Amino acid sequence: MDTTAQHTNLQLIGFVEALLDDHGIPHERVMSPDGTCANLLARIGPEVEGGVVLSGHTDCVPVVGQPWTRDPFTMHRSGDGRLYGRGVTDMKGFLAVVLAAVPKMLEAGLQRPVLLALSYDEEIGTVGAPSLVDRLVEALPRPEAVVIGEPTSMQVVTAHKGVRAFTTIVHGRDAHSSQPQKAANAVAAAARIAAFVDDLAIRHAEAGADPRFDPPYTTFNVATIDGGQAINIVPRRCELTWEYRPVPADDGEEIVEQVRRFAEDEVLPTLQRGSGDGEITFIVDAMARALADEDGGPAETLCRELTGYTGQARTVAFGTDGGHFQAAGLSTVVCGPGSIDQAHIADEWIEVSQLDAAARFVDGVIDHLTR
Ligand SMILES: [Zn+2]
């Protein structure tokens, strides 16, 4: 199913609902504001606390412009023990393993429930997860642990950076370039904000806050700047896009507030000094929360037990929905089949042996919840 992010995932959601209906399992959609996408929640097992959330996103990244050698949306099994197709690794393989285990979950005599939490539009900035997590906390008994099945080769990942992306729009006033006193130069104002963001980048790089990550600090990117018409016109509008990827300690509102304050206190008065016109607006384009290490929290303990992983808890460079679950007070780790190296590429593939490992993991979760 083509569930490329920003399109619709309702075909997939409908498929999962039908599967759950076949087993008499109630489920609930949490719709996107425009109604084109849905998160899905379901509880299998008794309505008691202490369950385990198995969560994955249903969207995938685009295939357009990539040199696929076969139809990306028809899964292909090759002779080399691999499955090919968009999303097999990131992350429909995990979802398929979980759904295939539903009959086992029903027969196992669960003492505590498995909670299924499927999100939409993770790939464009964990867009669906916040409303999914809100509803889960509101409607379902409090779980013991959350497992995000993103590709980690079944290793236990306890921390990742966040992603916060913004568009800053400067509205100025145009005039003949010989009359700047009657104008408000939007490009000049945006450039000062861009320079401020880059100064933050330098300061954070020097501070080097968190050695578990590569690089060990919050990174920034001044990405695009777009404004101005001609050499003899004072520009009236400029649009700046920028992002930062905070280590868990920086994953609050503090950094963006610093930028907003600078724009308001330093840039805006300068912009308005000639004509009195000028406005600066910030749009949040994406906000993926960081995942912070819980130092042996329930989710990590469970996943170590089930995978036999005894090494150091790992961090990854990519973001997941997990930070939103953790921000709601739920113990969360990332652990799933396949490698991120095969995600987002043409001819995306996953080893069947990885899916087997994930199936054993889900069996272990079921067993844990019957004890
Ligand atoms: Zn993913």
Q: Is 134 a catalytic residue?
A: no
Mean pLDDT, all residues of the chain: 96
| Calpha distance 318→90 (Å, rounded) | 12
Output the pTM of the full model: 0.89
pLDDT bin (cut points 50, 70, 90) of residue 252 is confident
Residues, CB-to-ion distance under 5 Å, ligand 1: 90-91, 150
pLDDT bin (cut points 50, 70, 90) of residue 152 is very high
What is the whole-number distance in angstroms between the Cα of residue 94 and the centre of ligand 1? 10
What is the whole-number distance in angstroms between the Cα of residue 127 and the centre of ligand 1? 12
What is the whole-number distance in angstroms between the Cα of residue 88 and the centre of ligand 1? 10
pLDDT bin (cut points 50, 70, 90) of residue 317 is confident
Chain segment 255-303, per-residue pLDDT in tens: 999 999 999 999 999 999 999 999 999 999 989 999 999 999 999 999 9
pLDDT bin (cut points 50, 70, 90) of residue 215 is very high
Q: Is 122 a catalytic residue?
A: yes
Which of the residues 17, 90, 121, 122 is marked catalytic? 122
Contact 142, 207 (CB under 8 A): no
Give the pLDDT of residue 208: 76
Domains of the chain in start order, with CATH, are 10-160+291-370 (3.40.630.10), 163-288 (3.30.70.360)
Overall average pLDDT of the 103-131 stretch: 96
Nearest Cα to Cα of residue 77 among 351, 357, 354: 351
* Low-confidence winner among 79-88, 305-314, 341-350, 352-361 (lowest mean pLDDT): 305-314
| Calpha distance 96→129 (Å, rounded) | 19
What is the whole-number distance in angstroms between the Cα of residue 345 and the centre of ligand 1? 12
Which of the residues 17, 59, 250, 321 is marked catalytic? 59
Overall average pLDDT of the 228-251 stretch: 96
pLDDT bin (cut points 50, 70, 90) of residue 119 is very high
Give the pLDDT of residue 318: 85
What is the whole-number distance in angstroms between the Cα of residue 363 and the centre of ligand 1? 22
Nearby residues of 68 by Cβ (< 8 Å), 6 or more positions away: 346, 347
Q: Position 215: which residue type? A: P
